[in-house]
Amino acid sequence: MNTVSICFVCLGNICRSPTAEAVMRAQVEAVGLADRILIDSAGTGDWHVGKAPDERAQQAGRARGYDLAPLRARQVAAADFERFDLLLAMDEANVRNVLRLCPPTRRERVRLLMEFAPAGAAREVADPYFGGEEGFEQVLDQVEAACAGLLAHLRTRLA
């Protein structure tokens, strides 16, 4: 049975990418593909390594039924380009930072998550860290839409 493995990437791994990890896990579990689609997240920076997601991200996620509490931040590592079929960045700066670490043969694995959102959606998931609560709601809205498109794409790869 083939599997596909994906890693969501943002700057700190405490707001956007753990939100995406929890949302994607829920969507994948809902369609019974948890053993076929392997999900992780990481940050390009190391400031928050080992920490739980930002309290605001946990709270906003909890209100929609997502549990971010068990997640712990880690930094993107060289092994990730071998372990994961796709590294899904939240914004263009994340793409640039990930590509700096990426072996030349693995560059096509690095994509913007929002490429999988419906046509017309913004290309980046904006960083909510320095803003208000509404930023975390917007992250959830964008990530929910993009993960649905991503799941549809991954199902074609698993078929």
89 and 113 in contact (C-beta within 8 Å)? yes
Q: Does 16 bind ligand 4NP (CB under 6 A)?
A: yes
Contact string 21-60 vs ligand 4NP (x = CB under 6 A):
----------------------x---x-------------
In whole angstroms, the minimum distance from the beta carbon of 157 to ligand 4NP comes to 26
Cβ-defined contacts of 133-139 (< 8 Å, 24+): 133/56, 133/60, 136/15, 136/19, 136/56, 136/57, 136/59, 136/60, 137/60, 139/15, 139/16, 139/19, 139/57, 139/60
Contact string 90-129 vs ligand 4NP (x = CB under 6 A):
-------------------------------------x-x
Among 7, 13, 88, 124, binds ligand 4NP (CB under 6 A): 13
5 and 83 in contact (C-beta within 8 Å)? yes
Q: 58 Cβ partners below 8 Å, 6+ apart?
A: 52, 68, 69
Q: Which stretch binds ligand 4NP (CB under 6 A): 14-22, 64-72, 107-115, 151-159?
A: 14-22
Interacting residues with ligand 4NP (CB under 6 A): 10-16, 43, 47, 127, 129
